[in-house]
Chain A
Amino acid sequence: MTANALTQSSTRARRRWRLTLQRREAIACALFIAPAVFGFLAFSALPLLASAYLSMTDYSLAGVPNFVGLANYQSLFSDRFFWQAVRVTLTYAIVIVPAWIVSSLALALIMNQNLRGMAAFRTVYYLPAVLSGVGVVMLWIWIFNYRSGLLNIGLGFLGIQGPNWLRDRNWALFSIMLMSLWSVGWYLPIWLSGLQGIPTELYEAAEVDGAGTWARLWHITLPMLSPIMLYNLVINILFATQLFTEPLMMTGGGPDLATLSYVLYMYNNAFSYLKVGHASAMSWLLFLVSLVVTALIFKLSPLWVHFEAERRGER
C-alpha cells in the first residue's frame, strides 16, 4: 500500500466519523435534555409506576408488599371517610375555583390600569405567592383565633361576635377557603400577561363603534383572555383537589372531619395508619379523575375558548 493510498484511506475514515451539523446539534440537544429526562424517569416516572404497583399491595412501609389485586380500590369505595374526604374536596373545589378565577381576574383588571403606584400594588398582591405556605398558615391561624384573632377583633368593633372559625364545623372549611383566597396574587402575572397581549386596536375600534366598558370587557377582554382562563381553570382545579397544608396545620381535618381533604386523608393513610397501599390507590384515583376532568375541559374548550390563531387559519 502506498503512502497516498494510506492517506486516502485515513481521510475516508475521518469523513465517516465526521458528523453533520444537524447530527451534532441533535447530540448536543440530547445531552442537554438528558439530565431532565433522567430526572423525570428517576423521580417521577419510576415512583409513578411504583405507586401503581403499591396500590395493589398491602404495603405498610414496614415489611414486604404483598399483592392484593384491586382490594384497596374496592375497600376505598366502602370507606365512609374516603367519601367524606371526596365531599370536602369537591365542596372546596366547587367554591374556590370560580372564586379564584373571578377574584384574580378582577384584581388583574384593576392592576392593569395605568395608575400611579400600581407596580407597588402588584408586588404586594403577589407577595403571598412567594411566602412559605407554612408561615402563611401560621399567620392565618392567629387571624382566625376565636378570642384574640384579628378577624374577630375587627368584627367586634362592628358589634359582631365572630364565629369560632377553625373549631366550628360549619365554619372551618369556609375559613380555609377564605384563607386560600389570599393567594390569588399567584395568578396575577398570568392574567396581566394575557391582558397586555390584547391588541389595543381592538379596544380603539370598539370605542369608535361606541362600545362601553362592559361591552369591551364582555366582547373583547374576556374572549381574548379565554385561553388564559382555560389554563387557569385547569391549574386551579388541580390545585384545589390537592388541598393539604391548610387542613393539616389549621384543623387536622377536624372538627368532626369537616376539613378532611382528599390529600390529607391520603397522607394519613400513608403515614399515620401505615396503609401505603390504600394511599397509593387514592393517589391513582385522584390522578385518573383529574385526567378525565382535564380531558373533558379541553374537549369542551372550543365552545368557549377563543384561539385567535386557529380562527385566522380557518379563514
Chain B
Amino acid sequence: MKSKLITRRRFLQLSAFATASAATLAACAPAAQPGAPAAPSDTQAADVPTTAPSTAAGLTGQIEYMHYDLGPANQSREEAVRAFEQANPGAKVKLSVLPYDEMYQKVAATMAAGQPPDVIYGDFSLLRYALEKQLLDFSDYFKADPVLSKPDLFITDMTDAVQAKYGTSRMHALIMGTWVPILYYNKDIFDAAGEPYPTDDWTWDDAREAAKRLTKPEQGQYGLQFGTTFDNVGWLWWLQKPDDFWAVPQVFPAKTAFDSPVGLNVMRLYYETSVVDKSQITPDENATYQVYAGGFGAGKVAMFSGGDWDAGWSFRDLQFNYGMALIPKMRADYRPALNTMLSTNAIAAATKNPDLAWAFARFLTADKEGATIIGRGAYETPVLKEVAMSDAVLKPEWAPQGYDARVRAAALPGPMYTPYPLNLNLWEFPSKFLDPTIEKLRKGEMKPEEAVAYLDSEGIPYFAAQREEMKKFGIE
C-alpha cells in the first residue's frame, strides 16, 4: 500500500489554516448561549456559604458594577468602590456608568451575548431577566447573612418587597435604598405671597388652591409642576386609598381599573390644573429653562411634585430657599401616598465571581460604611436603619426644611411596591397609551371621563394578554 507522506511545508500550511479557522470560529461564537448562563440556585446550592461572605474574607478577582448616571451621586458610587476595595485588597470593582436608557439597552445586549456586568444597579426594569433566570437567585446568601436576615435592622421589609416585586419566591434584587414621592416648594415664592408652606397633611385640593393663588402668568410664575416622569407613571403614586387600591395592580396585573373614583380623581386633578386653572406650567414653558427640573429649578414654579432623588441630584444647588413635604393625599381620609420605589442591585447569573459580586452588593446595603456612603450620595435613602436615621443621612449640611420627609415616608408602614405595573414589556403600555392620553388631557382634547374609559378599554385586554404570556414562567 502506498503511504501518503505529508511534507513539512504542507504540514505547516495545514496547521496555520487550522489555527486560523479555529480562531475565526472562536471569535464569531457567542461567549455563552443566551438563556443558558451558569445556572442560578440549583447548581449553586452546594456552593452556597453557610455564613454570608465577609467583606474581609480574602475575596479576590474583578467584577463590573454597572449603574446609570446619577449626577452628583456618581461620586458616592466611586467612594463606595474605593472603600470596598480597601476592605478587600484582592478585589477590584470596575464601574460602568451609562445614561439611563442606554444602560438598559447595554444590559440587554450583554445579557444576550452572555457577558453581562456582574452587578447591575437598577429597578423593576430587570424583571424579565429575573424571570428568565439570568439573574442570580441569592436567597440562600440572603438567609445566611447575619444582618440581612434581621428585618428589624432595616427601614423597609427586605424580603417581602423583593419577592413581591418579582412575584416569585426567588430573590434577584438586593434592596439598597428607597425612593419616595416628595412635594418640593419654593419658600421664596410662598413668602412673597404670604402663603403658608405645604404640610404633611395636605390634600391635593389644598395644593391645587395654593397653586391657583400662586400662579401669575404675567410674571411667568406657575403654582405647580409635575415631575419629569409624570407622563409615564408619576401619577400612579396618587392612586392609593387606605385599602391599597391601584388603578394598575402592581405585581403582574391582569387588568386595569382606571375607570374608578380614584382613577378619575387623578385624571381630574391633572386636567383641571392644566386646562381649567392653568396653574400647571406647560412642558413648552419648562423647556425654555435650561436647568434641572425646568421651571421649578429656575425659581418660576411654587411647587414641584417629584421624587426624593431630585434632592440628591441637583436641588442641593438651587439658588433659592426651598422645602420638602410629603406628597399630598388624594383625599383627607386617605393615607398619604407613601408608596416607595426601591433601588436595588442585581447579580447576573453569568457572573464568574458570585461571591465577590454578592459581597459588593451586600456592602452597599448591609454594611454600615457602604450604606453611609450611599446615604451621603442622597440619590436614595439607604435601607439600613441605623444609617437611614443617622445625621449623615437626615441632616446633610445642604438639607432644606423638611428634608427628613424622605426617611419618614420610607419608614412609615405600608406596602413598598414600585408604582410601575410589573409586566414583561414595561414601557409599552405607558408609551402607547398613557403618554398620548396624558398629552390629550393636558391640551384639553380629552375629558377625564374619556381618558379613564379609554385607558381601561386598552388596558384590560393588554394586561390580560400579558398575564397570559406570564404563564410560560409559571406565573398563573
Contacts and interface: CB of A to CB of B under 8 A. Distances in A.
B425 A271 contact: no
A146 interface: yes
Interface string B417-446: 000000011011001100110011000000
A271 B440 contact: no
Contacts of A128: none
Nearest to A169: B439
Contacts of A60: 128, 132, 424
Nearest to A41: B28
Interface residue SS majority, chain B: helix
A272 interface: yes
A62 interface: yes
Nearest to A255: B439
A147 B108 contact: no
B35 interface: yes
Nearest to A267: B105
A42 B24 CA distance: 10
Nearest to A268: B431
B105 A256 contact: no
A89 B131 CA distance: 36
Contacts of A61: 34, 108-109, 111-112
Contact of A62 (B105, B108, B283, B428): B108
Interface string A26-69: 00000000000000001000100000000000001111110000
Contacts of A256: 436, 439-440
A54 to B, nearest CB: 11
Contact of A271 (B105, B129, B288): B105
Nearest to A168: B443
Nearest to B135: A62
B134 interface: yes
Interface in B24-41: 28, 33-36
A173 to B, nearest CB: 15
Given A146-B284, A275-B425, A62 B132 contact: yes
A254 B283 contact: no
B287 A145 contact: yes
Indicate the member of A63, A164, A252, A253 with the most B CB atoms within 10 Å. Answer: A63
Interface in A123-166: 145-148, 164
A164 B288 CA distance: 13
Interface residues of B, number: 31
A62 to B, nearest CB: 4
B191 interface: no
Contact of A147 (B109, B284, B424): B284
Given A146-B284, A167-B283, A254-B439, A272 B36 contact: no
Contacts of A146: 284, 287
A141 to B, nearest CB: 8
B285 interface: yes
A272 B112 contact: no
Nearest to B432: A81
A274 interface: yes
A274 B425 contact: yes
A42 B26 CA distance: 12
Interface string B388-427: 0000000000000000000000000000000000001101
A63 B439 contact: no
A273 B129 contact: no
Contacts of A273: 425, 427-428
Contacts of A148: 288
Contact of B285 (A42, A147, A275): A147
A222 interface: no
Interface string A263-279: 00000100111110000
B37 to A, nearest CB: 11
Given A81-B432, A274-B108, A274-B424, A64 B34 contact: yes
B16 to A, nearest CB: 14
Given A62-B129, A62-B132, A147-B288, A272 B108 contact: no
Contacts of B440: 256
A167 B33 CA distance: 44
Given A62-B108, A272-B427, A254 B129 contact: no
Indicate the member of B131, B285, B428 with the most A CB atoms within 10 Å. Answer: B428
A64 B436 contact: no
A46 B25 CA distance: 13
Nearest to B112: A61
A257 B288 CA distance: 23
Interface in B125-157: 128-129, 131-132, 134
Indicate the member of A81, A148, A274 with the most B CB atoms within 10 Å. Answer: A274
A253 B431 CA distance: 9
Given A272-B428, A272-B431, A62 B111 contact: yes
B108 A271 contact: yes
Contacts of B439: 254-256
A254 B436 contact: yes
Interface in A244-297: 252-257, 268, 271-275
Interface in B70-106: 104-105
A146 B285 CA distance: 8
B132 A63 contact: yes
A148 B208 CA distance: 28
Nearest to B284: A146
B128 A62 contact: yes
Nearest to B34: A64
23 contacts: A61-B111, A62-B34, A62-B112, A62-B128, A62-B129, A63-B35, A63-B132, A64-B35, A81-B432, A145-B284, A146-B287, A147-B285, A147-B287, A148-B288, A254-B435, A254-B436, A255-B436, A256-B439, A268-B427, A271-B104, A272-B427, A272-B431, A273-B428
Interface of B: 28, 33-36, 104-105, 108-109, 111-112, 128-129, 131-132, 134, 283-285, 287-288, 424-425, 427-428, 431-432, 435-436, 439-440
Interface of A: 42, 46, 60-65, 81, 145-148, 164, 167, 252-257, 268, 271-275
A-B pairs, top 6 by smallest CB distance, nearest first, are A63-B132, A64-B35, A273-B425, A62-B132, A61-B108, A273-B428
